[in-house]
Amino acid sequence: MGCGGCRIRFNFWKVLSKASVFFTMVLIFTYFFYCLTGFCDSTPRALFKQQTPHRDYDISIDRRRMLEELRPSPRCVRNTTAAPRAQQVDAVGQKSKNESAQSSGIPVSNTFGTKRFPQAIIIGVKKGGTRALLEFLRIHPDVRAFGAEPHFFDRFYDKGLEWYRNLMPRTLEGQITMEKTPSYFVTKEAPNRVCTMNCQTKLIVVVRDPVTRAVSDYTQTLSKNPGLPSFQSLALRNATTGLIDTSWSAVRIGLYAKHLESWLQYFPLSQFLFVSGERLVSDPAGEMGRVQDFLGLKRVISDKHFYFNQTKGFPCLKKPEGSSRPRCLGKSKGRPHPDIHSEVLQRLRDFYRPFNHRFYQLSGQDFGWD
């Protein structure tokens, strides 16, 4: 009887042991089945990242490749020749950006495009119509521009080219990067500095009758400093002799020929486009057609984009789709000019005449200011 009980207990534990092994094997096979069919990917990312950091890195690489393949093809491709130095900084900068994005976990969608040095710069002139030109150009889908004036080549050159490039918006293939800083045209060091970045850069200069430009410049300064002396006292070194004071910046900026001669020491005339500030007001579509041709862009900006604002006295952009109102330049544009004695204005015209003729010769265009 006692031996029979021992055999029963022995058989019970033997059966229990076999059952445990059986259920363990079932669980193991179930786990491997789920992993092989991909259900293990539902493991929370935080846990998965801690256990297998190399695999998480590979996933980010795969996503990047997939998104690159899904990127839409550009509308057009431009061939631009960049200076070796600019290319080198671009390549090194982009590589470090990509490595930084991958290591920090930044979504790949936020790194589309490349920050490039400007292929074209609006270098002048102040109060010539540079802001209007830039705003008109930004309508074009293949133009990306830095909105503010970076003043890199005249004020912040010591910050370095990498700092400058990082200011620029990201662009895709077929798009061009631009910026505008009107003071570059009158800055002695600017031509050499721009050429150091890229001697193939295209340069746009918006010019206007230098007398009208000087009055507009004075009007802007007067609005900020109501205690400013009269235009006559600033423009004339001696009221009796009528000698013009060329040390006053409002007068000096209008010596277009002298400034252009400095730029032509570093850039051929073929890399310049001289835009008429007067025609930008009277025929914005026609002048913008010239600009688009110069930049190698398809003519997208046309008459349909403009209307003339009678109050301001210059063209504005028509209401874009999805906007409640048209786009016009700010209140600082189109200010009424103060009354200035006609004799003072005539003295200025006489003073500028030889400089204007020299500018016509250098630029190959007669702007008809005389």
Task: Establish whether 208 is an annotated binding residue.
Answer: yes
Burial 350-367 (b: 16+ CB within 10 A, else e): ebbeeebebbbebbeeeb
Distance of alpha carbon 322 from alpha carbon 325, whole angstroms: 9
Task: Establish whether 128 is an annotated binding residue.
Answer: yes
Distance of alpha carbon 309 from alpha carbon 307, whole angstroms: 6
Task: Establish whether 252 is an annotated binding residue.
Answer: no
DSSP-derived 3-state class of residue 86: helix
Distance of alpha carbon 227 from alpha carbon 314, whole angstroms: 28
Task: Establish whether 277 is an annotated binding residue.
Answer: no
Residue 127 annotated to the active site:
yes
List all residues 6 or more positions away from 49 whose beta carbon is below 8 Å from its beta carbon. 56
Catalytic residue among 115, 126, 127, 202: 127
Residue among 228, 248, 229, 226 nearest 237 (CA): 248
Task: Establish whether 337 is an annotated binding residue.
Answer: yes
Task: Tally Cβ neighbours within 10 Å of residue 57.
Answer: 13
How close are the terminal C-alpha atoms of the chain, in Å? 134
Task: Establish whether 334 is an annotated binding residue.
Answer: yes
β-strand partners of 272: 203
Task: Establish whether 216 is an annotated binding residue.
Answer: yes
Task: Tally Cβ neighbours within 10 Å of residue 18.
Answer: 10
> In the chain, helix, strand, coil percent, each to 5?
55, 10, 35
Residue among 198, 136, 147 nearest 169 (CA): 147
CA 95 to chain centre: 20
Which residues belong to the annotated binding site for 3'-phosphoadenylyl sulfate?
127-131, 208, 216, 333-337
Which residues belong to the annotated binding site?
127-131, 208, 216, 333-337
Residues with a known catalytic role: 127
